[in-house]
Structure 1
Amino acid sequence: MKSPYVALAVSLVLLSCSSHSKPESLSLEEKKRRLEKLRQEALNLQSQIQELEQAIQAEDSTYGQSKKVAVGYTVVKPRAFASYIELQGNIDNRQTVTLTAKIPAPITRIYVQEGQFVAAGQLLAEQDAEVLRKNLAEVMTRLELARTLYEKQKKLYEEGIGAEVQYLTAKNNKEALEATVATLQEQLRNAQIRAPFAGRVDAVLIRVGELASPGLPAFRLIQPTQWEVKVDIPEAYLRIAQPGQPVEVHIPDLGLSFLSRIATVTQNINPLNRTVTAIVREIPSAYQAQLHPNLIAYVRIAQTTFPQALVVPIEAVQFQDTAAYVYVVQGGLARRKAVQVVATQGGEVAVTGLSVGDTVVTVGASTLADGQPVLPRTL
């Protein structure tokens, strides 16, 4: 602790020196004896100064405090620490389909609306198939006659009365009409748009009276439990982009966060941005009803994990060129101590070079000098 008594001691020493002969006029032995004597006098004076300061502080606890710099501090304790990379991804549904008509024909009826849940095979819409129905009715009439003629020709042929040619002709005519009926029935089924799986109707893209054709979107159907998060990971992080790697997912627009793991990683590296795509599929069921395709999601992946690390706030670490150091409070003084930064996350830094229990200056470190008196406080 600096004190006006220190200046007094220095003055006394200088006065003592001035009362003797100049050093250059003394022999070597005389110089040594005088130096030793002055050192002893300085020690005695310093001891007296400390005794006086302690006596004064015993009666006045605020004495000398104004000369100390108030600083914030933390006591270093070992704890778990991890550094992360955070990447932007998006929500995707791996069973989202756009349904189209199978034949070109106007829409005559729509049975569902947007947001409605449907079962697998449920009828969504019908197209105009009146011509097909009339054709089918006509062919069914002809088929009924063909079957009657066939049965008669078959009976005569089996009794050895009818000619084989007549029997084969009747049989061929019946089978041809049956094939025509099957084709017309299939065409009638194609005039219906049905759900290929159970899900939610996300969009109705047609209206009654519009011409629906193959390739033109009619409905968009989503399977509401097949959500996943896709995120592109730079190739520099391939070592941590592995199936089973734990991740933390945050969806800011919904205020949702959850822990999950990487399900799979694509083998191919995208040559345009040098990334692979990681897919996260374990999403809490309670969140799935709130999700939307292409919703932004942030994925945090741990790069380095330390079960026991000495961690300080990032503002505690100072740099001189590339050398890092902190100030540790020892005996009321700020002592500079070299450290090495091993990992950074958010506003914290894991370092080596400190000891458990060190009192590290966290607020005001940038204005300190080595050996400066400080007063640690909770700031």
Structure 2
Amino acid sequence: MIKSSLVQAFPLLVTALMLSACDNKPTETQDKPQPVKVTTQQVQQINSLQKLTYSATIEPDITTKIGFAVSGVINNVTVKEGQFVTQGQLLASIDATEYENALIIANAGLEQAEDMYQRLNELYQKGSLPAKDYIDIKTKLAQAKASKSINNKHIADSKLYSPMSGIITEKLIERGSMAAPGIPAFTIIKTDKVYAKITVPENEIGNFKKGMLTTVFIPTLNDSVRGVISIINPQADAASKTYSAKIQLNNPSQNLLPGMIANVEINPNKYVPVLTIPATAVVRDADDLTYVFVINADKKAIKKRIVVSSLIGNKEAIVKDGLDKSDLIVVEGQTQLRDGALVNF
């Protein structure tokens, strides 16, 4: 009896399970992603006053390596690295005993030659001395004078003085070490004026003229200074095909140090076409990279990297690279988007 009831109920159970499975099957509407509502705008092209920006490195006005003109053992060093020195200041000296003794000998030789010359000159004037002997004594006198002058110079060269006011950046000698001609002892840089050196692409070098005013911002000092383009190298780099230019900066306080990074802004005083977008359309990611969402033909929002060169007020951004004037960008609702999302506008 029980078996018969189970047989009768089995078809009903199977039908109920099938209906339940049909109810749980997802619909096409549930699978299909819903478009995100956004506001779009065409990229605008306007004529804007050209502004050129470059990265620069601060360089000293003059860099010089100096050393002794004579050899000897260094017996005194009066300066240290990083020290500011003035023109004519004593930097170091070598033991001049050998040169001082040589000068004593040279003086004695000169006295002897002068005495001999005076006596023989009288004889020559009277016609009692052959011309050959007179020429010999004149030669010896000249040699004695030259010997004295050379040894005087050796003694003077045993002291090394600064040829200009500047900063000691390298001290390559120590007391007791050996000095020799041609071997640098110090490196000195002159920094009362410095240069901001920039690299300029070939298509922009025509905008440069000597004497043009520039603005140089030094991030380390959080300060801007005015400069003048003073050097334009006419020879392009063989590999990069770029040109170098230098902006001269006054540096009376010595705050601008060689090696500092700077940003140079130059205004050639002419208008050029630029692409602009609303500043609110720009999105910045965790890596500090800027991008916008561009709508493609399938009405999908595509993430596109851009480079913003500057802002016009607080509302418009000038795009240096990454967009075309035909691009349609998202200006509202971009925070709700992901790359490739469908949009409705």
Q: Could you list the per-position Cα deviations for residues 77-102 of structure 1 after superposition, in whole angstroms to 9, with x for gaps in the alignment?
A: xx995454432221111311111222
Aligned partner of 1:345 in structure 2 is 309
CA distance in 2, matches of 1:89, 1:350: 22
Aligned partner of 2:221 in structure 1 is 254
Q: Does the 8 A contact of 2:78 with 2:92 survive in 1?
A: yes
Q: 2:94 aligns with which of 115, 123, 127?
A: 127
Q: 1:149 aligns with which of 91, 100, 116?
A: 116
Identity percentage over the alignment?
A: 25
3-state SS in 1 of match to 2:142: helix
Aligned partner of 1:290 in structure 2 is 255
| Alpha-carbon offset, residue 199 of structure 1 | 2.9
The 1:246/1:321 distance shift into structure 2, 3 A limit, reads farther
CA distance in 2, matches of 1:264, 1:199: 22
The 1:142/1:318 distance shift into structure 2, 3 A limit, reads closer
Q: How does 1:1-379 map to 2 (within 5 A)?
A: 82=49, 84-281=51-248, 283-286=249-252, 288-302=253-267, 313-316=278-281, 319-321=294-296, 345-347=309-311, 348-349=316-317, 364=333
3-state SS in 2 of match to 1:346: strand
Q: Does the 8 A contact of 2:75 with 2:176 survive in 1?
A: yes
3-state SS in 1 of match to 2:185: strand
Query: Taking structure 2 as the reference length, what is the TM-score of the superposition?
Result: 0.64
| Alpha-carbon offset, residue 226 of structure 1 | 3.0
Query: Taking structure 1 as the reference length, what is the TM-score of the superposition?
Result: 0.58
Aligned partner of 2:11 in structure 1 is none
Aligned partner of 1:13 in structure 2 is none
* Greater radius of gyration (CA): 1
3-state SS in 1 of match to 2:79: coil
CA distance in 1, matches of 2:86, 2:250: 23
CA distance in 2, matches of 1:92, 1:206: 25
| Alpha-carbon offset, residue 117 of structure 1 | 4.1
CA distance in 2, matches of 1:310, 1:292: 37
3-state SS in 1 of match to 2:231: strand
| Alpha-carbon offset, residue 187 of structure 1 | 2.6
CA distance in 1, matches of 2:125, 2:215: 79
- Structure 1: runs of 5 or more not aligned: 1-68, 72-78, 323-342, 352-360, 371-379
Aligned partner of 1:47 in structure 2 is none
| Alpha-carbon offset, residue 169 of structure 1 | 3.1
Q: Does the 8 A contact of 2:194 with 2:251 survive in 1?
A: no
Q: Does the 8 A contact of 1:242 with 1:264 survive in 2?
A: no
Q: Does the 8 A contact of 2:194 with 2:250 survive in 1?
A: no
The 1:119/1:156 distance shift into structure 2, 3 A limit, reads farther
- Partner amino acid, structure 1, of 2:310: G
- Partner amino acid, structure 1, of 2:186: F
CA distance in 2, matches of 1:274, 1:296: 22
- Partner amino acid, structure 2, of 1:150: Y
| Alpha-carbon offset, residue 312 of structure 1 | 6.0
| Alpha-carbon offset, residue 151 of structure 1 | 1.0
Count residues in correspondence.
264
Q: Does the 8 A contact of 2:86 with 2:165 survive in 1?
A: yes
Query: What CA RMSD, in Å, does the superposition of the two structures yield over aligned residues?
Result: 3.7
Q: Does the 8 A contact of 2:68 with 2:185 survive in 1?
A: yes
CA distance in 1, matches of 2:47, 2:184: 53
| Alpha-carbon offset, residue 228 of structure 1 | 0.7
CA distance in 2, matches of 1:169, 1:303: 73
CA distance in 1, matches of 2:240, 2:145: 59
CA distance in 1, matches of 2:213, 2:90: 42
| Alpha-carbon offset, residue 162 of structure 1 | 4.5
Q: Could you list the per-position Cα deviations for residues 3-32 of structure 1 after superposition, in whole angstroms to 9, with x for gaps in the alignment?
A: xxxxxxxxxxxxxxxxxxxxxxxxxxxxxx
Q: Does the 8 A contact of 1:89 with 1:297 survive in 2?
A: yes
Q: Does the 8 A contact of 1:113 with 1:204 survive in 2?
A: yes
The 1:124/1:241 distance shift into structure 2, 3 A limit, reads same
CA distance in 2, matches of 1:244, 1:146: 62
| Alpha-carbon offset, residue 319 of structure 1 | 4.9
Q: Could you list the per-position Cα deviations for residues 236-274 of structure 1 after superposition, in whole angstroms to 9, with x for gaps in the alignment?
A: 322333334443212112222123342231111112222
Q: Could you list the per-position Cα deviations for residues 296-331 of structure 1 after superposition, in whole angstroms to 9, with x for gaps in the alignment?
A: 122233478659x99763335985449xxxxxxxxx
3-state SS in 1 of match to 2:91: strand
Q: Does the 8 A contact of 2:310 with 2:318 survive in 1?
A: no
The 1:362/1:302 distance shift into structure 2, 3 A limit, reads farther
| Alpha-carbon offset, residue 277 of structure 1 | 0.2
